[in-house]
Structure 1
Amino acid sequence: MLLRWLLFVAQTLVLVAKALVGSLLPPKRRDLRADHVLITGGGRGIGRALAREFARRGARKIILWGRTEKCLKEAAEEIQAMGTECHYFICDVGNREEVYRQAKAVREKVGDITILVNNAAVVHGKSLMDSDDDALLKSQHINTLGQFWTTKAFLPRMLELQNGHIVCLNSILALSAIPGAIDYCTSKASSFAFMESLTLGLLDCPGVNATTVLPFHTSTEMFQGMRIRFPNLFPPLKPETVAQRTVEAVRQNQAFLLLPWTMHILVILKSILPQAALEEIHKFSGSYTCMNTFKGRS
């Protein structure tokens, strides 16, 4: 028993040392030239920026899913103008039957998906008591359950091919919730647990990996009107920045990515400070009231 414990400690230290060395030396990056990338919520915002970034990095085909044909068509034309083959399909990821139906259509028209980017999300932006029940359900269906359906639709073939990557565009609100967005925070926390479990479940699956991205507030129309007390100290991220860092994380096979790096401090503080102190930080930083001016879209 003692020998097993010593071996476990030694293996852990070796992996920590390996990670430290890997952070200093450039790792081997995934070549995207043979990849078919499917992005949910790909018509605008971060999804559209991701489509452009994957195209720039040489992805063979880009497939966009979304609920608004106008946005999808414009995004697809933009990607095609960059010289990359691009297709779009109207699909509500919160609808299980629709996901499975469109996944089959993608396979028949485009081929196997090797990178799935779960980016689609909505936010109701109200307190629990002010929220409409249907709007609350919509957030859970799209932000959380949608990932179940898309992953179940495409992961089996990735496992067969021993080639695939599941990506989740999550949010730092999955780890540190705020008032006024209870639907979004809850769904993102569930989504994070889903990806954490999935990532561990893929440890013995060669060639198939997962990446979870947890960005700070990003300047898209979805969170339009949200106000942080110190915008110069904590400026919102640009969609292009999130897209660039996400694609790089996929190429490096990075399991979890917090943006910006200062979000690591938030996670550490939350794990060591008492609740009363955390509440004061929320009030001082303005996150306690940042959704009061929310005007975003769902």
Structure 2
Amino acid sequence: MDVRSAGCVLLLPLQILYYVLKAGVRWLLPAAKRSLDRDLVLVTGGGRGIGRHLAKEFAKQGAKKVILWGRTERCLKETAEEISLSGTECHYFVCDVANREEVYKQAKVVREKVGDVTILVNNAAVVHGKSLMDSDDDALLKSQHINTMGQFWTTKAFLPRMLELQHGHVVCINSILSQSPIPGAIDYCTSKASSLAFMESLALGLLDCPGVACTTILPFHTNTEMFQGMRVRFPQLFPPLRPELVAKRTVEAVRAGKAFVYLPWTMHALVLLKSFMPQVALEEIHKFSGSYTCMNTFKGRT
């Protein structure tokens, strides 16, 4: 080991201590919250579930305009009308984020009819809810196309303009299952793990881009139609999250500039334990986390 390498090894504990203290100071003295009055927010899967609450919460906290994307026009229209009645300008467009050409086409329509998107919320997702051997191949592909590849297309469609304006934010509604998978949702867990890697890489790539940032939300079991088949080992200790809470914490995280948010905060312990536990202990964590059985194919927030 040369002198330079030895110096880096010796400095590592000091660097870790510095970043821990820096994080502590930021936690105790949070920065002023960003105003949303200049922002045009687009929420995928915005017609129902968490997406609907996200759109309403962004409007409530002062977003200039809200745009909804999804595959079910009836749900989109109902949500848009509700938001418009609250006093915030809201538009909706039918768009399947799994379809690359459709995403690029509708992104162009949004720019021409509404304006430049400055906050992109990648929320659309589906879950097949079966084991690998019981899953149809097309169903598995559909989960990956919507939950993972859809983020590639939407981000490529809107991020360039954010970079030009030096004003933008990319948000991903992920899941704790991206880091602690469960049986019965192999398609969803795999897609969310890929989605998390996408967001981590994107966040690092944007560190030197002024005015543009990322936020990834990793919630526990949320009480929506999508996860009616979810079963946890201790439901009294860890009840499902309300979608309204997930939406509120997401908007607060965007305004505070937080990169990653675990909901509830106790999920940090689950991820930490997984990093150190051997296989037997991991199996116990999986039992604690729960399992999933979906009665209907393709439940989701699209």
Query: Aligned match of 1:254 in 258, 262, 265?
Result: 258
| Structure 2: 5+ residue stretches without partners | none
For residues 293 and 86 of structure 1, the distance between their equivalents in structure 2, rounded to whole angstroms, comes to 33
For residues 94 and 140 of structure 1, the distance between their equivalents in structure 2, rounded to whole angstroms, comes to 9
Tell me how far 1:113 sits from its aligned partner: 0.5
| Inter-CA distance 293–108: structure 2 relative to 1 (3 Å threshold) | closer
* Residue 193 (str. 1) matches residue 194 (str. 2): no
Query: Aligned match of 1:36 in 35, 40, 43?
Result: 40
Give the conservation status (yes or no) of the 8 Å contact 2:217–2:261.
yes
Q: Deviations over 1:32-69 (max 9, x none)?
A: 01100000000000000001110110000000000000
SS of the residue aligned with 2:133? coil
SS of the residue aligned with 1:212? strand
Aligned to 2:106: 102
For residues 204 and 184 of structure 1, the distance between their equivalents in structure 2, rounded to whole angstroms, comes to 32
* Residue 280 (str. 1) matches residue 284 (str. 2): yes
Question: 5 Å matches for 1:153-172?
Answer: 153-172=157-176
For residues 157 and 293 of structure 1, the distance between their equivalents in structure 2, rounded to whole angstroms, comes to 39
Tell me how far 1:8 sits from its aligned partner: 6.7
TM-score by length of 2: 0.94
Give the conservation status (yes or no) of the 8 Å contact 2:181–2:286.
no
| Inter-CA distance 74–193: structure 2 relative to 1 (3 Å threshold) | same
Q: Deviations over 1:136-163 (max 9, x none)?
A: 0100000000000000000000001110
Give the conservation status (yes or no) of the 8 Å contact 2:182–2:289.
no
Tell me how far 1:24 sits from its aligned partner: 1.0
What fraction of aligned residue pairs are identical, expressed as a percent?
73
Question: 5 Å matches for 1:47-196?
Answer: 47-196=51-200
Q: Say which structure, 1 or 2, has more relative contact order (CA 8 Å, 6+ apart).
A: 2
* Residue 291 (str. 1) matches residue 295 (str. 2): no
* Residue 25 (str. 1) matches residue 26 (str. 2): no
Aligned to 1:217: 221
Give the conservation status (yes or no) of the 8 Å contact 1:226–1:294.
no
- Using the TM superposition, name which of 274-283 and 233-242 deviates more: 274-283
For residues 92 and 24 of structure 2, the distance between their equivalents in structure 1, rounded to whole angstroms, comes to 40
Q: Deviations over 1:96-146 (max 9, x none)?
A: 000000000000011101000000000000001110111101000000000
| Inter-CA distance 32–144: structure 2 relative to 1 (3 Å threshold) | same
TM-score by length of 1: 0.95
Tell me how far 1:280 sits from its aligned partner: 2.5
Tell me how far 1:277 sits from its aligned partner: 1.3
Aligned to 1:237: 241
Give the conservation status (yes or no) of the 8 Å contact 2:34–2:255.
yes
| Structure 1: 5+ residue stretches without partners | none
SS of the residue aligned with 2:127? coil
Tell me how far 1:26 sits from its aligned partner: 3.1
For residues 291 and 8 of structure 1, the distance between their equivalents in structure 2, rounded to whole angstroms, comes to 42
Give the conservation status (yes or no) of the 8 Å contact 2:52–2:79.
yes
Give the counterpart letter for 1:242 in structure 2.
Answer: V
Q: Aligned residue pairs: how many?
A: 295
For residues 36 and 217 of structure 1, the distance between their equivalents in structure 2, rounded to whole angstroms, comes to 29
